[in-house]
Structure 1
Amino acid sequence: MLPWIELDRAAIPGDGTELRLKQRGQEFSIMLGANELMNSRLSGSEEALATLSCERIAGRANQTMLIGGLGMGFTLRAALAVLPSDAHVTVAELVPAVVEWARGPMADLHKGTLDDARVDIHVGDVGALIRSKKAVYDAILLDVDNGPDGLSRPSNDSLYDRDGLEAARTALRPKGVLAVWSSGPDAAFTRRLRQAGFATDEVSVRANGKRGGARHTLWLAAKA
């Protein structure tokens, strides 16, 4: 078996921990310490985050979407495949190197999506961006941690607490959707979503789509 090769390291702003980009043949991995945040072989649940969200907002004019976390671009690619030509997608990525990796060693994975006319890349904190908006987005998609807690950095907890959920609700248009990716279920987070005024569906999806893999959890929470 081919060995893993470390291509780059990048500090996460604000807390000093590092992301590591690794490659083995055609396979890529992004690591945080001993935790693998994402792998290029597993894209099904990230794609489902986009497609299921797009189904919820289908038919609206000038659809506006915010994606928190660029990662390996699977969610962005899946969204662009179904969104209409008049849609607009902002991708908020905290770590500048992740955008550089998308244009560099992982360019074949991203397939030019960063240059799509519908896409705007915001290098910065998705939470701060959400808190600055009011009734702007039809959908907010969050895939910045391994679940509704601040794995990549502790301050991300504020995305998933009551204040963070209320900020997301404020940033959404009427009947807008907040979609959150997780490696597993979290009953307390489901309760917080409902307490914050969201009509919430919890969906179990496979890590690799129809080809199986571990079960991941998506929350699709509609602004009442």
Structure 2
Amino acid sequence: MLPWIEIDTADVPGGGGQLRLKSRGQEFSIMLGSNELMNSRLSGSEEALASLAREKIGDRPRPAFLIGGLGMGFTLRAALAILPGDAEVVVAELVPAVVRWARGPMASVFKGCLDDPRVTIYEGDVGACIAAARSAYDAILLDVDNGPDGLTRASNDSLYDHQGLRAAQSALRPGGVLAVWSSGPDPRFTRRLKDSGFEAEAVSTRANGKRGGARHVIWLAVKR
């Protein structure tokens, strides 16, 4: 079996530790300490984040998506595959090196999706994008951590508390959806979403889609 090779490292702003990009043949992994945050062989639940959100909002003219977390581009690619040509997709990525990796060593994974004319890359905190927006997005997709409890960065918690959820409400258009990826269930977060004025449900999905893998959760919270 081929050994893992460390390609590069990058510090997470705000004292969130250090990301490590590793490869083994054509397989890539992004690690935080001993935790694997993402792997290029597992894309099913990240793709579902986009497809489920699209189903919730239905067909709208010039739909606008905000994706929090570039990762390995699976959510972005899935969104581009199902959105019309006049869509707008903003991707907020906190760690500039992740964007650099997407255009460099992981270019084969991203397949040129960053060059799609519908895409705008914002290198910064997705929370800032949300806070600055008013009825700007039809969907906000968050995959910036392992779920509502921040693993990579404690300040991610502010996206999921009552204040952060109210900010997401303001940033969404009527009937818009906040979709949140998580590695596991959290009934308290479901209650927070409902308390914050969303119609919310938690959907179970698999890490490798129809091929199985670990069970993940995606919350779909619709602005009333």
Please report the TM-score for the alignment, with normalisation by the length of structure 2.
0.99
| Inter-partner Cα distance in structure 2 for 1:221 and 1:208 | 23
Does the alignment pair 1:151 with 2:154? no
Match of 1:160 in 2: 160
Aligned partner letter, 1:163: Q
| Inter-partner Cα distance in structure 1 for 2:56 and 2:126 | 22
| Inter-partner Cα distance in structure 2 for 1:191 and 1:22 | 38
Match of 2:215 in 1: 215
Match of 1:81 in 2: 81
Structure 2 gap segments, 5+ residues each: none
Could you say if the C-alpha distance between residues 216 and 7 of structure 1 is closer, same or farther in structure 2, counting changes exceeding 3 Å?
same
Structure 1 gap segments, 5+ residues each: none
Could you say if the C-alpha distance between residues 122 and 157 of structure 1 is closer, same or farther in structure 2, counting changes exceeding 3 Å?
same
**What are the within-5 Å matches in structure 2 for residues 126-205 of structure 1?**
126-205=126-205
Judge conservation of contact 2:172–2:223 (CA < 8 Å) in 1: yes
Q: Identity over the aligned pairs, expressed in percent? A: 72
- Bigger Cα displacement from structure 2, 134-143 vs 56-65: 56-65
| Inter-partner Cα distance in structure 2 for 1:108 and 1:99 | 14
| Inter-partner Cα distance in structure 2 for 1:46 and 1:110 | 14
Aligned partner letter, 1:165: L
Structure 1 residue 58 displacement after superposition? 2.3
Structure 1 residue 191 displacement after superposition? 0.4
Does the alignment pair 1:10 with 2:10? yes
Q: For residue 121 of structure 1, give the secondary structure of its aligned residue in structure 2.
A: strand
| Inter-partner Cα distance in structure 1 for 2:107 and 2:191 | 39
Structure 1 segments (4+ residues) deviating >2 Å: none
Q: For residue 184 of structure 2, give the secondary structure of its aligned residue in structure 1.
A: coil
Give a deviation string over 1:128-164, Cα, whole Å, max 9, x none.
1101111000000000001112111111110000000
Could you say if the C-alpha distance between residues 16 and 178 of structure 1 is closer, same or farther in structure 2, counting changes exceeding 3 Å?
closer
Judge conservation of contact 2:70–2:98 (CA < 8 Å) in 1: yes
Aligned length: 224
Structure 1 residue 59 displacement after superposition? 1.3
| Inter-partner Cα distance in structure 2 for 1:58 and 1:83 | 10
Q: For residue 204 of structure 1, give the secondary structure of its aligned residue in structure 2.
A: strand
Please report the TM-score for the alignment, with normalisation by the length of structure 1.
0.99
